[in-house]
Amino acid sequence: MKISFIAENDWANVLTEYAYCLNTHNKNIEAKSICFRPHPFNYTLQHDYDLHFCPEEQKLEAKQFLEESDVIIFGEEGHPLEYTYRTLREFSNLLGLNLINSNKKLCIWHPGSLYRENYDFYNNHPLRDKIYKHFYTMGLYRLSPKSKTDYPLFPYQYNNFNFEEYITFFEQKLNNDGIKQIIHIPSIPEKKGTYDINKVINKLNISQYNFEYNWYTKVTHPQSLQYKQNSLIYIDQFAPNLKGGYGIASLEAILNSNITFSTINSKVYEAFYKITGSYETPVLSLGNTIEEMNSNLFKFLSLSKNDLYQEAYTKGKWVEKHLSPNSITQFITGLLK
């Protein structure tokens, strides 16, 4: 089976990560990521092709691979309405292919803000029935029609997760005699509930629990990873009114041995259940009101070191079970049969 992952630049690099995972852990699959332009951040994995920048012969290679692909998974990136199903149209125009009317299995990876703001437009679009499978991040799945073609997918970064290294690193940070770090790194503070998070943290007087809080924004990806390596607790976002979920930022924090908080609403739990058969998540709930956030953080900060260790242990085991390359490969191939 050949699978093409196409996008404008694959903003969170998720499509590229999935492509690499499938390529390296299933000998019956060849997968490539094909984008218009390079990724704006410094990720380890790069796209296989960047069409606006690669030589003509590589453009022809990308076109040939698309023509030979059994499945095309395209991510929609950009701005509302006029960009709906744009990725398919622009790739078709650039490479001279009629992807929309091909006999391939077309799947769409719905992005965060674009789908959230215009889900009715997407769901009633005439192209919707041409799509073999619709994929959503965990927080977006609540807005899908829940038809047999709609599936939530985990945010994912390829990793050969080593549980022993993960829990050992957490234990080292936990038992460090210095002050423990709580961090929050919002991409857009106004959309991540930063004001409310800061207000609650300031009221909790966390220094009495030997914690220190810092928040950062507009930092580079390597800087963000460095902060997460040094912290024990990561707060992703406070997004009430059913807008919450978690994404790559939380996953990176977990992989760097952080206990992670975010808004996790009932619809997100339903998405986890659809994939795993369990309501358990790798992220702790920050709550959906100021009062809940205050209560959840207060209870957590009051935990003993042993209880904190058990939290990290449980979340690490979840990642080991559900986000291993083999688990991801089996899940995706099962969806594409």
Q: What is the CATH number of the domain that holds 211?
A: 3.40.50.2000
Residue type, 172: Q
132 and 169 share a domain? no
Query: Quick one: DSSP state of residue 208?
Result: G
| Residues 310 and 207 placed together within one structural domain of the fold | yes
Digitized pLDDT (tens) for each residue of the chain, 337 residues in all: 999 999 988 878 889 999 999 999 999 999 999 998 887 777 888 899 999 888 999 999 999 999 999 999 998 875 555 556 778 888 888 888 888 888 899 999 887 777 877 788 888 888 888 899 999 888 788 888 989 999 998 888 877 789 999 999 999 999 988 899 999 999 889 889 999 999 999 999 999 999 999 999 999 888 999 999 999 999 999 988 655 567 888 989 999 999 999 988 777 888 889 889 999 999 999 988 999 999 999 999 999 999 999 999 999 999 999 988 888 898 888 888 8
* Domain coverage including residue 39: 2-136
Type of residue found at 6: I
| Position 84 in a domain | yes
Asked if 14 and 114 sit in the same domain, the reply is yes
* 332 belongs to a structural domain: no
200 and 292 part of one domain: yes
* Beta carbons of 253 and 228 less than 8 angstroms apart: yes
Assigned domain for 337 exists: no
Say if residue 92 is in the same domain as residue 174: no
Same domain, 312 and 179: yes
- Give the strands of the sheet with 105-110, arranged side by side: 49-50, 30-35, 2-7, 71-75, 105-110, 133-136, 150-152
- Residues 123 and 234 reside in one and the same domain: no
Is 303 inside any structural domain? yes
| Cβ-Cβ contacts under 8 Å for 235 (sequence gap 6 or more) | 182, 183, 184, 197, 260, 261, 262, 286
Q: Residue 18 falls within a domain, yes or no?
A: yes
In a domain, residue 256? The reply is yes
- 146 in a structural domain: no
Distance CA 322, CA 313 (A): 14
* Cα(141)–Cα(151) distance, integer angstroms: 7
The residues, ordered by sequence, that sit 6+ positions from 150 with a Cβ below 8 Å of its Cβ are 133, 134, 136, 141, 144
Looking up residue 101, the CATH number of its domain turns out to be 3.40.50
- What pLDDT score does 194 carry? 95
Sheet of 211-215, strands arranged across: 211-215, 180-184, 233-235, 259-262, 284-285
- What is the model's pLDDT at position 84? 66
Indicate whether 169 and 318 sit together in one domain.
yes
Residues 214 and 104 in one domain: no
Question: What is the count of structural domains for the chain?
Answer: 2
Residue 149 lies in a domain: no
In sequence order, the β-bridge partners of residue 75 are 109
Question: Is residue 132 located within the same domain as residue 191?
Answer: no
- Based on the domain organization, do 179 and 317 belong to the same domain? yes
Same domain assignment for residues 42 and 179: no
The C-alpha atoms of residue 326 and residue 38 are separated, in whole angstroms, by 28
